[in-house]
């Protein structure tokens, strides 16, 4: 229990401690010093020094496994068993009963929270009903990680992260949390999806709190749905925390509004490549006017999707932009038309990750740049420290 501050005083209801490890013995001693009665549930015989306290009325040893009645009667619950699976079951039982909980074997719990505050503000403990959190890390800028995402990372034991996750985001996890790279890119998967799903289930069943940290948003071309289904089938309690999807975030950092009154009243997100090859799009919906296309895997889309759009009736002069490494200091924005942009990108050697934006809203980037121009200057006023300064 080193490093854990117990904000506790005595009372009639006991604290429940489960296990016979050294952490369990330390927890019992600490709780008794605070004046709180203790119930210890373990089939292993505790030290004689503890059994001697049984006669004083403030300590009870139950030579059996804990029950739900033990949890319900407790003021707080401490897991200190040598078997992580037992601690996991106890954690779930405690939180189902709305009890303060601490895993003394890892030092993680909610003793720093007041009980009422924990109930009034569910953000105080994002792990209350989850063993795995699928967290969207955003498109690259660490500042786009949500507060819930930060709190999930702060309470995890293991982080499984993608290649597009900024290293600074991993710093929100505890220093002793395990960090595993499980990223994917086209034709090269560090870990196949079925194996990754099995790994999350295995870690959760071991009692680990797992963050699956994904670039962008888990449910927008992020395979979060596939992961959630497998976890649910395995009976793993899961929470999904959304993130800023790259299509939206990159467009914003490039000064391209995806919708704009009088220019575009709708927006469509699509990917340039399907699970088994090229996608069979509804071309009529894609080429209509007053509509914005946001294409993930944008580099691939240049040679495949752009020519197909013009073949199906899109104006060849429809504005288009390619945003490379959006929201990062290495961001580049190339603009042209749906017919000219593939050649422009080839000359500038654009590489993934990149997002393609097609539609008249792309011209608003230049309108915004002109609006920033002061009357006595010739160049737009652009912060050189911003990714927006890297546009072409």
Output the pLDDT for position 382: 34
Burial 37-64 (b: 16+ CB within 10 A, else e): bbbbbbeeebeeebeebeeeeebebeee
Output the pLDDT for position 263: 96
CATH code, residues 15-121 = 3.40.50.720
Average pLDDT, the chain: 83
Output the pLDDT for position 386: 44
Domains of the chain, by residue range, sit at: 15-121, 132-243, 247-390
Position 57 confidence tier, pLDDT thresholds 50, 70, 90: low
Q: Which whole number is the average pLDDT over 354-359? A: 96
Q: Which among 81, 103, 141, 162 is annotated as catalytic?
A: 162
282 is catalytic: no
Position 132 confidence tier, pLDDT thresholds 50, 70, 90: very high
Q: Give the contacts of 132 (CB within 8 A, at least 6 positions apart).
A: 200, 203, 204, 209, 210, 211, 212, 231, 236, 237, 238, 239
Task: Output helix, strand, coil percentages for the chain, rounded to the nearest 5.
Answer: 35, 20, 45
Output the pLDDT for position 1: 39
Q: Which among 58, 124, 148, 184 is annotated as catalytic?
A: 184
Output the pLDDT for position 279: 63
Output the pLDDT for position 35: 78
184 is catalytic: yes
CATH match of 247-390 with 3.20.190.10: no
The token pair at 211 is 């963050």
Output the pLDDT for position 190: 67
Output the pLDDT for position 390: 40
The token pair at 15 is 């604290």
Is the fold of 15-121 the same as that of 132-243? Answer: no
Output the pLDDT for position 124: 43
Output the pLDDT for position 100: 86
In tens, the pLDDT along 87-106 reads: 889 988 988 888 888 888 77
pTM assigned to the model: 0.65
Q: Give the contacts of 151 (CB within 8 A, at least 6 positions apart).
A: 123, 126
Output the pLDDT for position 283: 87
CATH match of 132-243 with 3.40.1010.10: yes
Output the pLDDT for position 340: 95
Identify which of 42-46, 311-315, 386-390 has the greatest average pLDDT. Answer: 311-315
Res 63 pLDDT > 60? yes
Using the structure block, give the residue that is written with the tokens 């071991």.
206
Q: Which whole number is the average pLDDT over 152-169? A: 93
Output the pLDDT for position 110: 56
In tens, the pLDDT along 171-211 reads: 999 998 999 999 875 555 568 899 999 999 999 988 889 99
Output the pLDDT for position 209: 92
Question: What is the dihedral angle through the alpha carbons of 33, 58, 77, 48, rounded to the nearest 10 degrees?
Answer: 80
In tens, the pLDDT along 290-348 reads: 999 999 988 988 888 899 999 999 999 999 999 999 999 999 999 999 999 999 999 99
Res 18 pLDDT > 60? yes
H or E element, residue 304: helix 298-311
Beta bridge partners of 355: 323
Higher pLDDT, 46 or 331: 331
- Tell me if 294 sits within 8 A of 357, measured CB to CB: yes
Query: What is the share, in percent, of the chain residues with pLDDT greater than 70?
Result: 81
């Amino acid at each position: 229990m080193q490093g854990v501050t117990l904000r506790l005083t005595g009372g009639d209801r006991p604290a429940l401690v489960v296990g016979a490890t050294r952490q369990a013995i330390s927890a019992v001693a600490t709780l008794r010093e605070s004046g709180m009665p203790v119930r210890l549930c373990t089939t292993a015989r505790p030290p004689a020094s503890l059994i001697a306290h049984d006669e004083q009325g403030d300590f009870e040893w139950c030579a059996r496994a804990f029950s739900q009645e033990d949890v319900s009667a407790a003021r707080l619950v401490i897991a200190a068993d040598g078997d992580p699976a037992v601690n996991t079951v106890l954690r779930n039982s405690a939180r189902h009963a709305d009890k303060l909980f601490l895993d003394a074997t890892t030092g993680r719990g909610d003793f720093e929270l007041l009980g009422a505050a924990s109930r009034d503000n569910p953000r105080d403990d994002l792990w209350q009903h989850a063993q795995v959190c699928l967290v969207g890390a955003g498109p690259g800028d660490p500042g786009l990680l949500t507060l819930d995402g930060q709190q999930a990372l702060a309470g995890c034991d293991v982080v499984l992260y993608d290649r597009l996750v900024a290293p600074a985001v991993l710093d929100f996890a505890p220093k002793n949390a395990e960090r595993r790279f499980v990223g994917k890119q086209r034709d090269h998967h560090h870990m196949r999806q079925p194996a990754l799903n099995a790994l999350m289930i295995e870690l959760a069943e071991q009692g680990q709190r797992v963050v699956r940290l994904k670039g962008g948003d888990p449910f927008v071309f992020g395979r979060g749905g596939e992961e959630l289904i497998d976890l649910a089938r395995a009976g793993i309690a899961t929470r999904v925390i959304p993130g800023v999807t790259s299509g939206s975030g990159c467009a914003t950092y490039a000064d391209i509004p995806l919708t704009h009154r009088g220019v575009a009243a709708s927006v469509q997100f699509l990917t340039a490549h399907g699970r088994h090859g090229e996608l069979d799009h509804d071309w009529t919906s894609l080429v209509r006017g007053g509509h914005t296309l946001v294409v993930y895997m944008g580099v691939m889309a240049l040679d495949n999707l752009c020519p197909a759009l013009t073949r199906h009736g899109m104006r060849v002069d429809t504005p288009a932009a390619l945003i490379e490494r959006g929201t990062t200091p290495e961001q580049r924005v190339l603009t042209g038309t749906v017919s000219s942009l593939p050649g422009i990108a080839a000359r500038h050697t654009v590489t993934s990750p990149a997002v393609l934006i097609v539609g008249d809203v792309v011209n608003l980037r230049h309108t915004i740049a002109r609006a920033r121009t002061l009357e006595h200057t010739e160049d737009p006023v652009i912060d050189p420290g911003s990714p927006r300064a890297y546009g072409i």
